[in-house]
Amino acid sequence: MSYEDGKIPHHRIGLYNCSDAVRDTQVALSELGLAAKVDWKQHFNVRDRDVKLVGKTLIVERQPPHSLRITGLSRT
């Protein structure tokens, strides 16, 4: 989901582990259509703090099977 708050675009991104096993889940921001040259600031819900923005990739280490983690991004 994407929306604007004034002139700043915000994005809510869900990472879902659809496998039957614990696994590391990751997605590059470029795969989501987010500009690689932009500096992104991460916002998250308290329960989804295990989503990490490392460089230009979102990562969830050891994500449980069939689970969803949500994070937010905005331009800095």
Model confidence pLDDT, tens digit, residues 32-66: 998 878 889 898 776 678 899 999 999 999 999 99
User: What does the pLDDT average to over 13-36?
Assistant: 93
| Residue 9: band (very low, low, confident or very high) from pLDDT cuts 50, 70, 90 | confident
Q: Helix, strand, coil proportions of the chain in percent (round to 5)?
A: 10, 60, 30
User: What does the pLDDT average to over 11-38?
Assistant: 92
How far apart CA 40 and CA 27 sit, in angstroms, is 14
User: What does the pLDDT average to over 10-14?
Assistant: 89
Residues 6+ apart with CB under 8 A from 65: 17, 19, 20, 21, 22
Residue 57's closest CA among 76, 32, 74, 75?
32
Per-residue pLDDT at 49: 81
Q: What is the dihedral of CA 37, 43, 48, 54, to 10 degrees?
A: 30
pTM (predicted TM-score): 0.85
What are the sequence ranges of the domains in the chain? 2-75
